[in-house]
């Protein structure tokens, strides 16, 4: 009788454990070797050829990144991506926090107040270097002319009398902006070219108060003004001395003029009132005997311009009637609006803008332009009167007599 021999279970368990240990050891060694060679060769690999889990790089076009930043090392790209991943985590953590600041400018309520730049400027800047080092001098005054190329020598004479404290801005109604480069100063100036428009059209669209805020005074002048007896720096000194927020230089006695108020008074620095023809002034403190300058060569303080800009109508481009309403923007108007006599100019009455009109219905171009000027004056008066009346009624006050003229 043969007795069966039972193999020890303990021996089998030891054998299996030994085999598993060897397998694990071999796998580890192979893995280490593979990882070493992979690590050595990885910088030379294209990211687009590595199949990386979408959990690591979700929804990102690696080929775009590699093309756009081909000059960067792979490690640099990975560092950038790690930074982005961190920011995403921050965003998820605070995704329930929203910014809403009602006191911010309209449309910017979702921005933190500390990042808002509500005002800008017309200073030209470099394309290199530090922003804080761009400007050696920050001009304090803005001088604008609405021009056609034919008046270039007149404008050249005016600009050459201005110091570096002035930024020069030319509005070109004839489309010939590049031709002004014959003047060296033109290359440092700002040019805006839109055909057949007036200075008030340009002013409404390009001289927003938040854009010209750095300037103490804004000059908005026509092109046909002689400046032989005018010094802009001295003019501003007199404006400050006499507290004028809205002003103009006096007109020489041989200038083309309509109102006595703008005529230069000899032996005077500044005048703020005058006598007009009988019946023209219902009150000695009201236009055209006081609180009045014409629209050909006005100069505005920063604060006054902020008000005047809002009063300019989008569709009324000639500005007729505006000079009678300027007084609404300063108080008391008969003290803060005046004419500077000791710095005077010559109005040459060149009808250049009238020639930009269109001949129709048997009328010359200038006739159509003049007709629209008169119509706009009436429209402006009517709008101002209606707006004031509506305001007083809404406040429960009986409207006073119209003060739009």
Quote the tokens at residue 304.
Answer: 């006054």
The verdict on residue 394 lying in a domain is no
Task: Let me know: does 240 contact 299? Beta carbons within 8 Å.
Answer: no
Beta bridge partners of 169: 144, 190
Residue 228 has pLDDT above 60, yes or no: yes
pLDDT in tens, 239-257: 999 999 999 999 998 887 7
Q: Output 373 or 91, whichever has higher pLDDT.
A: 373
Residue 33 has pLDDT above 50, yes or no: yes
The verdict on residue 176 lying in a domain is yes
> Where residue 191 falls among pLDDT bands split at 50, 70, 90?
very high
Give residue 360's region: left, alpha or beta (phi > 0; psi -120 to 50). beta
Task: Let me know: does 340 contact 235? Beta carbons within 8 Å.
Answer: yes
- State phi, psi for 341 to the nearest 5 degrees: -80, -35
Helices (H), 256-364: 302-311, 322-325, 333-336
Beta bridge partners of 247: 299, 338
> Where residue 116 falls among pLDDT bands split at 50, 70, 90?
very high
What is the model's pLDDT at position 62?
Answer: 43
Domain, as residue range, for 212: 141-350
- Cα separation, 36 vs 67, in Å, equals 28
> Where residue 18 falls among pLDDT bands split at 50, 70, 90?
low
Q: Output 334 or 87, whichever has higher pLDDT.
A: 334
DSSP-assigned letters across all residues of 336-363: HEEEEEEEEEEE----TGGGGS--BTTB
The verdict on residue 98 lying in a domain is no
Residue 199 has pLDDT above 90, yes or no: yes
Beta bridge partners of 226: 346
The verdict on residue 34 lying in a domain is no
The verdict on residue 371 lying in a domain is no
What is the model's pLDDT at position 101?
Answer: 95
The verdict on residue 276 lying in a domain is yes
What is the model's pLDDT at position 47?
Answer: 42
Our count of domains for the chain comes to 1
CATH classification of the domain holding 234: 3.90.550.10
Tell me what the mean pLDDT of segment 257-263 comes to: 89
Tell me what the mean pLDDT of segment 365-372 comes to: 84
Residue 49 has pLDDT above 50, yes or no: no
pLDDT in tens, 311-352: 999 999 999 999 999 999 999 999 999 999 999 999 998 876
- State phi, psi for 33 to the nearest 5 degrees: -65, -45
What is the model's pLDDT at position 84?
Answer: 54
The verdict on residue 132 lying in a domain is no
> Where residue 359 falls among pLDDT bands split at 50, 70, 90?
confident
């Amino acid at each position: 009788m043969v007795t069966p021999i039972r193999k020890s279970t303990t021996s089998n368990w030891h054998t299996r454990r030994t085999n598993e240990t060897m397998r694990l050891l071999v796998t580890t060694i192979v893995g280490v070797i593979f990882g070493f060679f992979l690590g050595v060769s990885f910088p030379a690999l294209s990211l687009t050829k590595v199949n990386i889990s979408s959990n690591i790089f979700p929804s990102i076009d690696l080929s775009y990144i590699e093309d756009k930043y081909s000059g960067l090392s792979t490690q640099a790209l990975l560092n950038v991506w790690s930074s982005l991943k961190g920011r995403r985590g921050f965003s998820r953590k605070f995704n329930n926090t929203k910014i809403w600041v009602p006191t911010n400018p309209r449309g910017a309520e979702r921005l933190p107040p500390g990042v808002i730049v509500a005002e800008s400027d017309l200073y030209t800047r470099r394309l290199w270097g530090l922003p804080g080092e761009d400007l050696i001098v920050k001009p304090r005054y803005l001088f604008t002319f609405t021009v056609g190329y034919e008046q270039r020598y007149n404008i050249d004479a005016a600009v050459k009398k201005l110091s570096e404290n002035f930024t020069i801005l030319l509005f070109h109604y004839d489309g010939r902006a590049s031709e002004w480069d014959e003047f060296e100063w033109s290359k440092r100036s700002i040019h805006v070219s839109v055909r057949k428009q007036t200075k008030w059209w340009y002013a409404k669209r390009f001289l927003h108060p938040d854009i010209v805020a750095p300037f103490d005074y804004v000059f908005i002048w026509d092109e046909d003004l002689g400046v032989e007896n005018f010094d802009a720096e001295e003019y501003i000194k007199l404006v400050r001395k006499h507290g004028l927020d809205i002003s103009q230089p006096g007109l020489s006695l041989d200038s083309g003029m309509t109102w006595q108020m703008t005529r230069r008074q000899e032996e005077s620095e500044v005048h703020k009132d005058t006598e007009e023809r009988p019946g023209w002034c219902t009150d000695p403190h009201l236009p055209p005997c006081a609180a009045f300058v014409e629209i050909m060569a006005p100069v505005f303080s920063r604060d006054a311009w902020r008000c005047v800009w809002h009063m300019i109508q989008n569709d009324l481009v000639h500005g007729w009637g505006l000079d009678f309403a300027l007084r609404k923007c300063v108080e008391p108007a008969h003290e803060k609006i005046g004419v500077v006599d000791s710095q005077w100019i010559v109005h040459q009455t060149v009808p250049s803008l009238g020639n930009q009109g269109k001949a129709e219905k048997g009328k010359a171009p200038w006739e159509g332009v003049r007709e629209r000027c008169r119509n706009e004056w009436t429209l402006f008066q009517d709008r101002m009167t209606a707006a004031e009346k509506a305001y007083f009624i809404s406040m429960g006050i009986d409207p006073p007599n119209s003060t739009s003229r």
